[in-house]
Structure 1
């Protein structure tokens, strides 16, 4: 074993601090170890001060003949004053193809979820991509997520095992179509985490929970890695469409890449000030995916969405159990609808909801997005989401039928436009099942204009409201539980995308 110290002094940080990343001195291994068909270990220690770059790269010179690379790391977690962030250090690795933004050399990322990982041709730690360990300069990527005032002291141990390389399996991916029911309402959860990132469930466990939650489709969305994609194939079936994606976890917000082509990796190493998000949004689109900002007002460090919604296809207004940050996002989303009406834009931003489930007791399918699609296929589900033909429900037990009808029989459903004259009488109708004691709220560009009495304990009911396009540019429905206390609205049981009125 050989040990090295990699300190970063204040002057070095000052010189490199304007960059998004810092590269340390290289770690090398002797060529002679390959002949012995054994293994060699190197340990590196260093300290990162506060204000460190987002990513620090540790180069590793990998000689020929390496069968496996294994990395383990630790870092200190000193006590910090109240209100101050402590140490958190993420980790991943890039191979000899380099660390250039775009990810050609990307071989895996576990963030802060694991203290060690390995890669070889035939297998890798979940979150990492198996493949040959080719000679050249590899880079261990350290991500100082937060750094305590005392600095972040770390230790990284690299072990190279020599010998014959195994055979890399050919990846098999889930099909892009399931049996389905023709044109119908399909239920899905598009934000889920497996043990390939910071989740604790296997793909098999997630698929079983999805079926139990009455879901027809799911989307894989592990943080900053596509390594799980080949591990979903044997979980798909006629009853469950499995789409593939990633939660792109930047320092200025998270975005779900929904339904990308199998094997697509989307880089995350940028901030809003770098003006690079548009490039990667286009990459998601080129890979056949949708761009969906996730939990835009979540309070975790780096979770708040700073990139705007210009490139978004939909937005997650409800993430997991309903909380105040979801209420804030619901109001912000409603403002985007008003802006679309005001500016006369045909394009508007549809709402979604997902569980963001990681581990017990997180409930897969709570909430879930219910989509009207022509069939149970990746293109059809994506088209329904993009068009806003969907609503969000807290569980499979809640079902809605929402429509607007003109006085001459004109009809529109969720995500559509009822083309009637401004003064034409319009009847808005909502049918509800599975929401005992909930109240219906009909919301327009003016705000909430109708609130029902609580539904009966059976959870079934129908409400109607009459308006005109001159009075309401759009109508959407919220289904809320009884208010817990004071003037605060009750938590959502369901929320629909709007029906737009007018434009005849």
Structure 2
């Protein structure tokens, strides 16, 4: 390492330490924290070399991207990682890729396959280079870029590990609630003789077969599935796997999406006396927090399932509500839609989402065994790309509708405009008193259905015929504004009245 590289390294290490001491979590990671350079020559053949670097305190993840020259001359560099305990310590060698991986991560809870998760001690770490082949007259240069993660970082950082699976804006379809072996999801054994915790791979395979674009793996009060996700995501390059957890308390359940950081869920304890204390914790983790199945019972049949907080809750701590859980969209007793709309009427901009709550990935039927099939319902998100950050940002923004029966092709859009200003689902639109709010909408693959318009929880009947008479139907109508705060959204129903699509609101004058 030359002198300028050493100076650059020391400066970056000190900067990272300073940020960690101040508790500053970087919002982006466009630049690595450490960059190491080196070179190899013929005399390095069949040897091992340590390339040390310092890890400051307050780090809980190390991500390495390694690049080298000389492949045209068959130079081969194997790669491993040592922690401060040294090669013969309790953990010591944290992993060895051979030459199979040039990008890997090691975190407290999860790691790239061939590496071991665990505590990230401050001190001297080292890349371990093995050189099985370099010709006597050859030379190879290498560069190692290293990113440090910190407590509170969202799960989509570092970005180098989480590139979008698909570029460009679109409507992406997913399921935001499911359980596997890491909590109470179960399925029959290979022989069929017993029911056992169901391996996560079956959940992911089933979601892929159903044509979903993303799923959130939301086991109860744990994120241990994050390590399995590290193994599965590279293969499933058309299905985004979002780490999540169902925060399961005695006063209600809620899904936290996009974080693998610790969260104390012990509601009613000294450390978490009420929901507001829990919400303050969650806000530091940069994820999306959603109340689950709020109208379920909270008794021996489903302990803690219903939303029954003992003390008032600041609903601004949530970003979404599971308005549809499984097939409850048309169930007056269990549907979460009335609860969601009550919160909208109180002025909270909470996105309505859906989740299957699947507990058996091997189910062939939608309701076999009392569990919903994966993708039933589907949450459809208008996002800038298929990436974890983009999907969660779009859910926060309310750019969402729910396909209540989990089809692959039913869709809707809903846009309100005043003069040259417009707003899609989830957006806010200024509509002065006396102005006409012009609404346009399209519905696809719901032939013989009909559209219903809801304003502030009550039906609004436009003069336009809202019946659907083909594969795709366009609608337009005007709504007279009184200049006050309102919200407006749409549902699509089948000919028999079954709820098919649930739209999120446009907010007027909020």
TM-score by length of 1: 0.59
Separation in structure 2 between the aligned mates of residue 466 and residue 400 of structure 1, nearest angstrom: 18
Q: SS where residue 245 of structure 1 aligns?
A: strand
Of 474, 483, 503, 1:462 maps to: 474
Structure 2 residue 211 is matched with structure 1 residue 218: no
Instruction: Answer whether contact 2:180 2:200 (CA < 8 A) is retained.
Output: yes
Q: 2:410 aligns with which of 382, 393, 398?
A: 398
Structural mapping, 1:364-383, within 5 Å: 364-383=374-393
Residue 481 of structure 1 corresponds to which residue in structure 2? 494
> Following the alignment from structure 2 to structure 1, what is the Cα–Cα distance between the partners of residues 240 and 215?
6
Q: Aligned equivalents of 2:171 and 2:430: distance in 1?
A: 24
Give the whole-Å Cα distance in 1 for the aligned partners of 2:307 and 2:453.
28
- What residue in structure 2 maps to residue 270 of structure 1? 267
Coordinate RMSD, CA, aligned = 2.8
Matches for 1:70-469 after TM superposition, within 5 Å: 170-171=116-117, 175-200=161-186, 201-236=198-233, 237-261=236-260, 264-271=261-268, 275-299=273-297, 300-307=302-309, 308=313, 309-322=315-328, 323-324=330-331, 328-340=335-347, 348-359=349-360, 360=363, 361=365, 362-394=372-404, 395=406, 396-406=408-418, 408-445=419-456, 447-450=458-461, 454-456=467-469, 458-469=470-481
Q: Quick one: distance in 2 between partners of 1:496 and 1:277?
A: 28
Displacement of 1:294: 0.5
Tell me how far apart the structure 2 counterparts of residues 228 and 247 of structure 1 sit (CA, whole Å). 12
Q: TM-score, normalised by structure 2?
A: 0.58
Distance 1:328 1:220, change over 3 A: closer
For structure 2, the residue ranges without an aligned partner over 5 or more in a row are 1-89, 91-113, 119-154, 187-197, 366-371
The equivalent residue for 2:46 is none
The answer to whether the 8 A contact 2:293-2:335 is kept is no
Secondary structure of the 2:340 match is helix
Q: Deviations over 1:315-362 (max 9, x none)?
A: 11100112526765212221222221xxxxxx5112111111111233
Change (3 A) 1:430 1:270: same
8 Å Cα contact 2:174/2:380 also seen in 1: yes
Q: Give structure 1 stretches of 5+ with no counterpart.
A: 1-131, 133-167, 341-346, 484-489
Deviation at 1:242, TM superposition (A): 1.1
Structure 2 CA distance for aligned equivalents of residues 319 and 293 of structure 1 = 11
Q: 1:249 deviation in Å? A: 1.2
Give a deviation string over 1:471-500, Cα, whole Å, max 9, x none.
8822101112344xxxxxx33211111112
CA distance in 2 between counterparts of 1:285 and 1:221 reads 18
Work out whether residues 439 and 479 of structure 1, in 8 Å CA contact, stay in contact via their aligned partners in 2. yes
Structure-2 change in CA distance of 1:413 and 1:218 (3 Å): same
Distance in 1 (alpha carbons) for counterparts of 2:444 and 2:269? 42
For 1:441 and 1:450, locate their aligned partners in 2 and report how far apart those are by CA, in whole Å: 8
